[in-house]
Amino acid sequence: MEHHHEEPIEDLEIKSWRRKLIWSWVLTIPIVIVMLIQRFFDMIIPELYSMIGILVFAFFVVFVFGWGTIKSGLRGLFTFYFNMDSLIALGTVIAYVTGIIAFSGVIADYSGVAAMIMAFFTTGKYVEAKARGRASTEIRKLLELGAKRATVIRKGQEVEVDVSELQVGDVFVVRPGEKIPTDGVVVKGESSVDEGMVTGESLPVDKLKGNSVIGATINQDGILYVQATKIGKDTFLAHIINLVEEAQGTKVPIQKLADKITSVFVPVILGIAILTFANWWIFTQDIGRALGVGIAVLVIACPCALGLATPTALMVGSGMGAKRGILIRKGEAIQTMKEVKIVAFDKTGTITKGMPEVTDVFANGVKEDYLMEVAASVEKLSEHPLSRAIVSYQGGRGLKAVKKFKIIRGKGVEGVIGRKIVVIGNRALMKERRINVGVLEAKIRGFEEEGKTAMIAAENKKILGLIAVADAVKEDSIEALQRLRAQGYRTVMITGDNERTARAIAKQVGIDEVIAEVLPEDKSKKVEELQKSGMVAFVGDGINDAPALKQSNVGIAMGTGTDIAIEAGDIVLVKGSLVGVVSAINLSKATFSKIKQNLFWAFAYNVVAIPLAVAGVLHPVIAEIAMALSSITVVTNANLLRRKKI
């Protein structure tokens, strides 16, 4: 984590290739103009001046802006690790050297061709860098999540210190709305804490004396006094950071088909070029002619179209995805997605909306309107998400004045309306207030089996009814899961929620398997276990999903989720709709099909033109034009992808 500077590494790479691209063409276009003038208008420009000018301009294109490629290619030749750079380096260096030897009149000057080859190649590398997308900055963003300051009790006084100065055993104060500075145990006070940013669950967790709290989570409505139990690298947040780093480091991208072809193609072409040069020299005794034919072979074989084949299709595919709310952040995901057999989902905020809603109202001997008016009047004074759900459902209608309002932590609320005592909460609260719920027990159990939270409302110890609240399923989740199953995908839910709620949601949307009550740090392990059965795409939205998103073969993040999840994802669904998962799979298949077609066209020209170059029919300039045509064909073919329906 030493390079977390202001600008991601991949952004710097894109800017570097853009700069090289611009300057390469600024210098290459005058070379092309001069070469055309020489070829079609005889000697308008004196030959000596044009040769010197081309050499100078080409030097900067080849050995300044193309130096990284030259260095990589020549290293590949000496280490026998052949790649695309090997052909580019050899072709451009030899072509450039002919420009120097040409002053002797022994051979023709091909130094301008060297600049053209490098300019085309640089264009391909820039497109490739763009296609790879922005860098993941999730580690830096995770680090920024933590609180920066803490209010510590020292010698009976409250002292504000930097979080880095906290020691295990220190007691610190967390007021409503503040972030908890580090992991600890509550020693005094009561409150509810929003742990959604870490656990992904929508409901805040009530905290009493003796309960554990997690650093970087947000205190809601009470004051907590917390004793620090973990600091620095031992905290939960630091552990999540380590998991993301490990998954990031161990995830190996699929080796591109182009690389496999190139590793064989390059040495074969080098062999053909050498044999061609030797044969022409032996049989014609004309070293200039032999060198020209040898260079033509290298130039026509330079797989610039191969460098464009994958990135151009990825860029078009990425553009199509973006218009449909599917952001492809990692090019590798396109190749991997088509191999996925298992699609795993987080529950809260992914399949469900991530916020509780009233789903059912059951009135007991009173009108439903009266039950909701009484309940909403009392709940209006609470900030708890369950309370907000009831108030939202009622819409502010018929609210009454409430006195003596009180929150009973972990159980419910109570207040006085007129002369009537109203109590709303769970079974434990009703039992504490000696209110018999036996008559509604079957109804309560029914709601709970459906994964809903049943709140009981009572007035002067008489039960008014039940209000069921649940994290509702997104409207299109059922459709998306049906389409995935129809296409033969195995679907799995991995959630920290309880087994009963998880199974209720899974049944509702049609998910095959449920892995419930999973600790946040264990989600990535569950994904790893699933990977033994095939490639896994994981769909999530919370900070706790980041390691699982990284561990999976394709991480799909909901755009409505946390920044960390979005940064950890290979693909981001901007609209937060699971239908986007199906579209992403279809887009992946269409794009990869286009990549394969592009690879065919990238080599089709070579198959036809290399024999012509060997026979001495192709001049290096014509070979360069043919190479450019193959690049244009590949780009045009990639753009035909836009007609596909996903």
Mean pLDDT to the nearest integer, 66-70: 88
C-alpha 7/C-alpha 486 separation (Å) is: 43
Has residue 448 got a pLDDT over 50?
A: yes
From the number of C-beta atoms within 10 Å of its C-beta (0-12, 13-18, 19+), residue 475 rates as exposed
Question: Of the segments 194-198, 213-217, 511-515, 561-565, which one has the largest average pLDDT value?
Answer: 511-515
Dihedral sign for Cα atoms in the order 119, 121, 124, 129: negative
pLDDT digits (tens, 9 = 90+) for 380-414: 988 788 888 999 888 878 788 889 898 887 788 99
Tokens 């151009």 sit at which residue?
312
pLDDT on residue 2: 40
- The token duo for 520 is 């946040």
DSSP state of 347: S
Cβ–Cβ under 8 Å, residues 595 and 318: no
- Which pLDDT belongs to residue 136? 41
Tokens of residue 272, six digits: 């053909």
Q: Which residues participate in catalysis according to the annotation?
A: 346
CA distance 380 to 74: 73
Confidence of residue 421 (pLDDT cuts 50, 70, 90): very high
34-38, 354-358, 414-418, 510-514: lowest mean pLDDT where? 34-38
117 torsion bin: left (phi>0), alpha (psi -120 to 50), beta (else): alpha
Band (160; pLDDT cuts 50, 70, 90): confident
Q: Which residues contact 360 (CB under 8 A, 6 or more apart)?
A: 447, 452, 466, 467, 468
Q: What is the pLDDT of residue 493?
A: 92
> What pLDDT does residue 186 have?
93
pLDDT beyond 80 at 242: no
Largest CA distance in the chain: 116
Spatial distance between the Cα atoms of 154 and 139, rounded to a whole number of angstroms: 33
**Two tokens, residue 607:** 């198959």
Instruction: Provide the pLDDT for residue 275.
Output: 92
- pLDDT band of residue 35 (cuts 50, 70, 90) is confident
CA angle at 471 for the pair 466 and 477, rounded to the nearest 5° = 130
pLDDT at 522: 84
Helices (H), 395-458: 427-432, 441-449
Tell me the range of 127-136, 332-341, 432-441, 528-537 where mean pLDDT is highest. Answer: 528-537
How high is the pLDDT of residue 518? 84
- 415 or 141: which carries more pLDDT confidence? 415
Q: In what order do the strands lie in the sheet with 453-459?
A: 352-363, 462-473, 453-459, 420-425, 412-417, 403-408
Which residues in 474-569 belong to E strands, given as ranges?
A: 490-494, 513-515, 535-540, 554-558
The confidence score (pLDDT) of residue 59 equals 94
Element (H, E) at 415: strand 412-417
Q: Is the pLDDT of residue 454 over 80?
A: yes
Chain center to CA of 507: 29
Mean pLDDT for the stretch of residues 320-339:
76
**DSSP structural state of residue 474:** P
Whether 11 shows a pLDDT value over 80: the answer reads: no
What does the pLDDT average to over 261-267?
A: 75
Query: Do 114 and 92 meet the contact criterion of CB atoms below 8 Å apart?
Result: yes
d(CA 263, CA 282): 30
Supply the pLDDT for residue 142: 53
pLDDT for the residue numbered 325: 73
Q: How many C-beta neighbours within 10 Å does residue 289 have?
A: 16
Hey, what amino acid is at 210?
A: G
Given a cut of 70, whether residue 1 has pLDDT beyond it is no
pLDDT at 165 over 90: no
- Compute the distance between CA of residue 494 and CA of residue 536 in angstroms, rounded to an integer: 12
Q: So what's the pLDDT on residue 245?
A: 54
The more confidently predicted of residues 642 and 240 is 642
Q: Percent of the chain scored above 70 by pLDDT?
A: 84
Backbone angles phi, psi at 408, to 5 degrees: -100, 100
The stretch 603-622 carries a mean pLDDT of 76
Residue-wise pLDDT tens digits, 303-327: 666 666 777 777 777 777 767 777 7
Q: HEC profile for 254-305?
A: CCCHHHHHHHHHHHHHHHHHHHHHHHHHHHHCCHHHHHHHHHHHHHHHCCHH
Strands 420-425 and 326-328: unpaired
Mean pLDDT of the chain: 80
The two three-digit tokens of residue 355, written as one number: 């916020």
Contact 112/123 with Cβ under 8 angstroms?
A: no
More confident residue, 205 or 11: 205
Element housing 552 (H / E): none
What confidence tier does 138 reach under pLDDT thresholds 50, 70, 90? very low
Q: What is the pLDDT of residue 252?
A: 34
Half-sphere exposure of residue 389: CA atoms within 13 angstroms, side-chain side = 24
pLDDT at 139 over 50: no
Helix (H) or strand (E) holding 476: none
Q: Long-range contact list for 288-293, CB < 8 A, 24+ apart? A: 288/106, 288/107, 288/108, 289/616, 291/94, 291/98, 291/107, 292/98, 292/107, 292/108, 292/110, 292/619, 292/620, 293/613, 293/614, 293/616
Three-state secondary structure of 553-580: CEEEEECCCCHHHHHHCCEEECCCCCHH
The residue that leads in pLDDT, 562 or 6, is: 562
502 residue type, one letter: A
**Mean per-residue pLDDT for 241-249?**
51
644 pLDDT exceeds 80? Answer: no
Scan for tokens 């088509």, then name that residue.
Answer: 338
CA separation for the pair 481, 441 (Å, rounded): 33
- Check whether 460 has a pLDDT greater than 80: yes
CA distances from 422 to 386, 435, 465 (A): 17, 12, 12
Q: How confident is the model at residue 6 (pLDDT cuts 50, 70, 90)?
A: very low
Contacts (Cβ under 8 Å, ≥6 apart) of 430: 423, 436, 437, 456, 458
